[in-house]
Chain A
Amino acid sequence: MTVTPEGDPGRPRLLVIGVGQRFRRDDGLGCRVAATVRAHAAGTVDVVSCAGDACDLVSLWDGRTDVIVVDAMVSGAAPGTLAEFEIAADGGGDDAEAGGFSTHAHGVMAAVGLARALGRLPARLRILAIEAADTGWGDGLTPAVEAAASIAARRILDESRHGGGFLMPGGPAAG
């Protein structure tokens, strides 16, 4: 999963990391968004999927300057709600309290905490989260999440072509 930065000299090449397990229904949304971006922007955006192992995430984004991590969230919001979090290099709390570091009970935030402690956060790291409805056994996304995953992929593709931000903060996804 080594990703070599390249691209326009004036603009850092975007890396999109889809996190999840596609056999746990909506938990696979990160992989779905990654696959869609890869299909439409191969050669201009680097795209990888991973299970969310903190060590792997830190290795994947090491040396990169512009990274979007796409993952499922369970916050109690309406299924399909999109949320974007910009990760600050200096943090704002106790990273370890975001889940600590284990191998099963970890999350993306453990990777963020580890990378911050190591001084290895990308200059710009955004987490694009979509509220999941069903993370039970099985393949395929629920309808609201399917729609939100399409919107998220389109916004990432738009940004990769035109620059700028890609997401309105909070609220159910709107086309």
Chain B
Amino acid sequence: MTRKQIVVDALARVEGEGGLRIRLRDHRPPEVMLRIYEPPRFFEGFLRGRSMHEIPDITARICGICPIAYQMSGASAIEDACEVTVSEPVRRLRRLMYCGEWIESHGLHVFMLHAPDFLGYADAIRMAADHREIVVDALRAKKVGNTLVAAIGGREIHPVSVRVGGFWRAPAKAGLEALRPELEWAAARVRELLPWLASLPVPDFERDYEFVALHHDEDYAIERGRIVSSRGLDIPVRDFLRVFSEQHVEHSNALHVVTAAEQAPYHVGPLARYNLNFAQLPQGIRAAAAEVGLVPPVRNPFRSLAVRAVEMLYACEEAIALIDTYEPPVPPCATVTPKAGTGHGATEAPRGMLYHRYRLDETGLVHDARIIPPTAQNLRCMEEDLAAYVPPRVDLPADRLTWECEQAVRNYDPCISCATHFLEVEVIRDGDAGG
């Protein structure tokens, strides 16, 4: 008789606090619970009654890793409500700033948080002893992203330059051009490390996900686009809540997001973007990815490590291209006159699509807010991954199985703090724990 339970009380190397519990019993589907016990943060509640102009600064505080995603989705939603389209130079500066966040966030996750899993180290400190050069270079590359964000935003965490309509102040071209050598170094180093990252052993595991991401014909979607999926969905951002719905589950302070029609999970993030928008990547990056075997569709979530590295490379090269053509937007901000109505915004945070919706009155006060982060959209996928991953591996030693389950969760670079807005892991074998 097989009765096992995997229990991890606090998942490590994820953003925020949560745990994992998997229960296996004969003849029953595995019970997988990603227990998100980080307290709710009530951002949507206390945004009510605030001015629309405060949205970028308040929502940036939801996350220290991806504040720009919150600022950009928030500003876009307000601009949508007020029927304002930002100028092309402002849009390009936003994209450049977003590249900095992708470099910083992907650099942190790929090298410091996720690579230790593949190499058998408990964390980056232990990994550093044997892979000093890689860790040193990872820190340097991450710093490149930080520096780019700070150059545009005033500081790297919770930047202060973003406002509804654009920026309080646009940086001088010379200041951005000074960053070019380090961006070139980072691009070259990530390109050099890509074959190594793609060669790290991954479990033989694929699932038939519905991938969902923004898509734009002209570029690899980051700050704009329509919502598309691998099963034919193609909708404007304003239809998000018509197609997707949030569910509360007892074991999680973070809502689960599923498709409204089938109540089915879907997958957002680097794999989704890569599979849906591969054609929008520059030819040189497509070739580098193909050389290391990353031919879309990539359905093995463990390969997200290498796909993130491809996106990191793209973000470096895209930042260089944006700097080369940069001219400070004049004015740095569009005039945004408050208007009663509802606005929708979505951008691609490093972890996946981030959706905001605000209902405003005629003075620009927020009457209702909805913020749906990527981790909430991926939670059901994570649980279903584990439900499929564990049964064939149930005879692995407990510590090995627990390790692999945590690694499977980290495939999604989950941000529990955003999602509650998550990770301890519990693999409970009933015979061991009496559960």
Contacts and interface: CB of A to CB of B under 8 A. Distances in A.
Given A101-B123, A103-B15, A114-B125, A55 B112 contact: yes
Contact of A117 (B10, B15, B132, B146): B132
Given A55-B139, A117-B128, A100 B123 contact: yes
A120 to B, nearest CB: 8
A56 B125 contact: no
B124 interface: yes
Interface string A76-109: 0000000000000000000110001111110000
Contact of B125 (A103, A105, A110, A120): A110
Nearest to B157: A51
A83 B272 CA distance: 50
Nearest to A98: B125
A59 interface: yes
Interface string A100-133: 1111110000100110011110000000000000
A1 interface: yes
Given A56-B146, A59-B139, A101 B124 contact: yes
Contacts of A119: 132
Given A58-B139, A102-B13, A114 B108 contact: no
B15 A95 contact: no
A105 B126 CA distance: 17
Contact of B132 (A100, A102, A104, A118): A118
B142 interface: yes
Interface string B1-38: 00000000010111111000000000000000000000
B65 A95 contact: no
Given A51-B64, A102-B12, A110-B125, A118 B113 contact: no
A1 B150 contact: yes
Interface in B43-86: 64-65
Contact of A96 (B126, B135, B156): B126
23 contacts: A1-B150, A51-B64, A55-B108, A59-B143, A96-B122, A96-B126, A100-B12, A100-B122, A100-B125, A101-B112, A101-B123, A102-B14, A103-B14, A105-B10, A114-B124, A114-B125, A114-B128, A117-B125, A117-B128, A117-B132, A118-B128, A118-B136, A119-B132
Interface of A: 1-2, 51, 53, 55-56, 58-59, 95-96, 100-105, 110, 113-114, 117-120
- Across the A-B interface, give the 6 residue pairs with the lowest CB-CB distance, nearest first: A117-B128, A101-B123, A113-B125, A101-B124, A100-B123, A96-B125
